[in-house]
Amino acid sequence: MKLAFSTLGCPDWTFEHTLKEAQRMGYDAIEIRGIEGQMRAEEIPFFQPGQQQDTRRAVAAHGLKMCGFGSSVSFHDVDKAEAMQDEGRKAIDVCAAMGIPLVRVFGDRIPEGRSVQEATALAAQGIRKLCAYAKGTDVHIALEVHGNFNTIEVMDSLLAQVPDENFGILWDVQHSDKVYGDNWRPFYEVIRPHIRHVHIKDHHRDNGANRLCRVGAGDVPIHDIVSTLMADGYDGYFSLEWEKKWHPELPDCETEFPAYPKFMRG
């Protein structure tokens, strides 16, 4: 089992401290979602030309890898399509240089008046363009199960339109739980051949309120999901997405990051 955490959970940590703590707590990798206040890949100082090799050596010296980069690229706003492609291409360039194998993107919403088919066609078009740009590198494009892109209907429609070998699904188990709860297996069977990365987080369902909580303390059937993935041969990362940056009311990463490996490996 390969474990990582997203830097979304430690927005106040320096990059050096992040590496030291990840090594100390027994993680295998870190997932990049912002470093020292910079969220876009090309704006992160440690990823700039002239610093890239030092950064790669520092990560390796701590026995770690960078398993993915979480971009903010989404495809539901037609007016922002060119800007999203520009952001995505720059993230691919940085990840190719830094040895980061995956760029996360979103679908993300289905605005009122737009059909599922129209929404997935728009997302598929954007994804295919990024996949085409990434060809010849080791970088894959992964659509996160998020927003309105978390149902069987939407995933069936999207997957039929994106045949690229360098495309995959990032399964956020908490987002699909909002729709399917304990009946998650039919959804899993649809996305299973395409899963490249998994986000683990938990919530109390509370009749749809979905309050985030410590992993293992909520209602998401994490044990069954992880066991099934492992039995089916999944060999990617299980990455803790502790959303401290977006939800400052959550407990600090100093308590949650050490607890996660113990829970997962226990």
| pLDDT reported for residue 163 | 87
Tally of domains in the chain: 1
Among 100, 93, 61, which residue's Cα sits nearest to residue 196? 100
| pLDDT reported for residue 66 | 98
| pLDDT reported for residue 266 | 86
| pLDDT reported for residue 11 | 96
Please give the residue range of the domain that contains residue 144: 2-265
Provide the token pair at 136.
Answer: 């010849």
The CATH number of residue 169's host domain is 3.20.20.150
Q: What is the pLDDT of residues 65-102, one digit of tens each?
A: 999 999 999 999 999 999 999 999 999 999 999 999 99
User: Which residues share a beta bridge with 240?
Assistant: 5, 200
Q: What is the pLDDT of residues 181-210, one digit of tens each?
A: 999 999 999 999 999 999 999 999 998 899
What residues of the chain score a pLDDT lower than 70?
A: none
